[in-house]
Amino acid sequence: MDTGTHIVMGIAIGGLATLDPVIAQDPLTTQTVLIGTIIGSNAPDFDTVLKLKNNAVYLRNHRGITHSIPAVVLWPLLIVGCLELFFPGANMLHVWLWTFLSVFLHVFVDIFNAYGTQAMHPFSKKWIAHGMINIFDPFIFAAHILGFILWYQGFHPGYTFLTIYIVLFGYYIWRYLSKRQTIKMVKEEVPDATKVIVCPTMRWGQKHVAVMSPGQFHVIEVKNDKLTIHDVYDRKPVPKNPILDEAVKDSNLAAFLSFSPVYRWEVEEEDDGYEVRFIDLRYRSKGHYPFVAVVKLDEELNITSSFTGWVYSEKTLRRKLDVATTN
C-alpha cells in the first residue's frame, strides 16, 4: 500500500489496542503503543531510502528483505528496544505485541496489490502479488478516516476500528471474488491463456490485465464487466546475440528483469549505436507503457547510458538517458 495508508493503519491499530485491558488502564503504555504501531506500520518501507542511490538498487531490494519473515520478527524488537529508552515505565510486552501486529499487517496487505513483496524471503525470492487491491485504495483509506472522525467524536477507538476492520475483511473477500470474475472473463476471451496478471486501478470497476499464452501477450482492460483488448504482441524469447548479451549485463536492465514477469523487448539501430528497450506490459495507462528499462550502446557495444523506472513521456525518458550519459 502507499505510505499514507500505512500511516493511517498504524494509528488505527493503536486505537484497536485500547481493547487490550493492560493498555486501556495505563496512559503511558497507551501512548507508547500508538507510537510503536505507527512506526511499525511504516518500518518495512524504510528501504525507500535506496532510491537515493539509484533505481536499479531500489527495484532489486524494495519490498524484499525488509518485508521478509525475519524482518517481521526483527522490526518490532528493534522498535520496542528504542521505545524502552524513552518510555521505561511502559509495559513493553504489550507494546511489542501490538507493534508486531502493525508490522505483520503492513507486509500482509502489501501482498494483495500488483506490485507484491518477497514475503517468503529468504526461503524464496519469488514475488507474491495477488493483484486484488490497488497501491492506493480510496475505500480503505476513507474507512480509516471515518474511524478517526468517530474517535474524535467520542466513540470508543477499539470497537470503532474493530468494526471497520471486520468491514474491510468483507471488502477483501469481495475484491477476491471480483478478481476471479475478471480472470474468468479473460480466459473466455483468450482460452489458451497460461497466466493472467490482474492490476487493479483506484476505480472498482476498472482493471488492467496482462495475459500470457503460448505464443502471444494480450494487454486487456476490464471496465464495468466489459473487456477490451488493447494490444497483442507475439512472444519472442530474448535471443542470444552480441547486442542483447551486452545489454543484459547492465544493472538497470538486470533489475528490471528480476522484477517484471511479463514484458516485450525491442532493439533499434541508431546512427551512433543501438538502443535496447524492455517494456513491462502490466501497467498500460492512456495508451502508454510507463515502466521500462532502456540501454544505449555505441557501435563497439559499449554501454553509454541506461535507465529503468517509471516514465510517462518519451521526452522525459530522453532526458533521463542524457543525464545517465553525463554521469
pLDDT in tens, 140-189: 999 999 999 999 999 999 999 999 999 999 999 999 999 999 999 999 99
Sheet holding 226-234, edge to edge: 195-200, 206-212, 216-223, 226-234
Q: Are 61 and 47 in contact (CB under 8 A)?
A: yes
Residue 327 clears pLDDT 60, i.e. is over it: no
Kindly indicate the confidence band of residue 326, based on its pLDDT and cuts at 50, 70 and 90. very low
Instruction: Quick: pLDDT tens for 29-78.
Output: 999 999 999 999 999 888 777 766 777 777 766 777 888 888 899 999 99
pTM recorded for the entire structure? 0.87
For residue 226, the surrounding DSSP H or E stretch is strand 226-234
Compute φ and ψ for 209, nearest 5 degrees.
Answer: -135, 130
3-state secondary structure of 197: strand
In this structure, the number of other CB atoms found within 10 A of the CB of residue 167 comes to 12
d(CA 29, CA 80): 12
Instruction: Quick: pLDDT tens for 305-323.
Output: 888 888 877 777 777 776 6
Q: Are 29 and 95 in contact (CB under 8 A)?
A: yes
Of 94-98, 136-140, 259-263, the one with minimum mean pLDDT is 259-263
Q: Report CA 281 to chain centroid distance, whole Å.
A: 16
In this structure, the number of other CB atoms found within 10 A of the CB of residue 42 comes to 19
Instruction: Quick: pLDDT tens for 218-245.
Output: 999 999 889 999 999 999 888 889 999 9
What's residue 323's pLDDT? Answer: 62
- Dihedral (Cα; 169, 122, 62, 66), 10-degree rounding: 70
User: Which grid cell sits at 269?
Assistant: 539501430
